[in-house]
A and B are shown apart, each in its own frame.
Chain A
Amino acid sequence: EAQVTQNPRYLITVTGKKLTVTCSQNMNHEYMSWYRQDPGLGLRQIYYSMNVEVTDKGDVPEGYKVSRKEKRNFPLILESPSPNQTSLYFCASSSRQGGKQYFGPGTRLTVT
């Protein structure tokens, strides 16, 4: 079954404690992306990757890092989380030609 998985689904952490949210897809997609969703702001792109070792900033990259060492994985790293990063995070992947994005189930992060 084609899918995008994210872990963890829920996370409560404290300010400054480094964390990683994993994202994995089984469709051999080249393009992957991270979004955050906040009430009244919709979805905003954090980072995206067009292929292995190719990443670029989205609209709200501050405070986040990503890496793309393998095609299937695209982890999101928060080196020093802050309360304003409390949000719902979605990972997505797509083939470049198709354009259809497959979304993960979301990770709800709370930073206290």
Chain B
Amino acid sequence: AQSVTQPDIHITVSEGASLELRCNYSYGATPYLFWYVQSPGQGLQLLLKYFSGDTLVQGIKGFEAEFKRSQSSFNLRKPSVHWSDAAEYFCAVGLNRDDKIIFGKGTRLHILP
């Protein structure tokens, strides 16, 4: 069965430090891959997506993600986090066949001043 795993439930980093949020998926073909962010009390916002082509994807707010087929991973990175990046981040997999999408359980990011 298709699945998305975000191994880290909580991550704490200091402001200005680099960030990497992990995402692994299980799917037979190359899926569509997404990262969403949910700020406290807010809805979901798309950070970036990967469909095909260049495996390093640039998104909004200075985020990027790299698709690694051999590792079935799509990790999200940012070189220097800001206090406003404190939020919950969701990795998601889109299934071509029927447009269904599966979300990971989320990683809550805490920023230390």
Contact = CB atoms under 8 A, between A and B. Distances in A.
Do A and B pair up? The answer is yes
Interface of A: 31, 33, 35, 40-45, 48, 50, 56, 58-59, 90, 92, 94, 96, 99-101, 103-106
A44 B103 contact: yes
Given A42-B90, A105-B42, A99 B49 contact: yes
Nearest to B46: A100
Contacts, number: 53
Nearest to A4: B43
Contacts of A103: 36, 43-45
Nearest to B6: A42
A42 B20 CA distance: 19
Main secondary structure of the interface of B (DSSP, over half): strand
Interface stretch (B65-73, B79-87, B94-102): B94-102
B27 to A, nearest CB: 15
A106 B45 CA distance: 12
Given A90-B44, A101-B46, A103-B43, A48 B90 contact: no
Contact of B101 (A50, A56, A96, A101): A101
Given A99-B51, A99-B94, A45 B44 contact: no
Nearest to A104: B43
Interface of B: 6, 9, 32, 34, 36, 42-46, 49, 51, 90, 92, 94, 98-106
Contacts of A33: 101
Contacts of B43: 90, 103-106
A101 to B, nearest CB: 7
A40 to B, nearest CB: 7
Contacts of A48: 99-100
A9 B99 CA distance: 26
Nearest to B91: A42
Contacts of B92: 43
Given A100-B46, A100-B49, 6 more contacts: A33-B101, A40-B105, A42-B90, A58-B100, A94-B99, A104-B43
A42 B49 contact: no
A58 B101 CA distance: 9
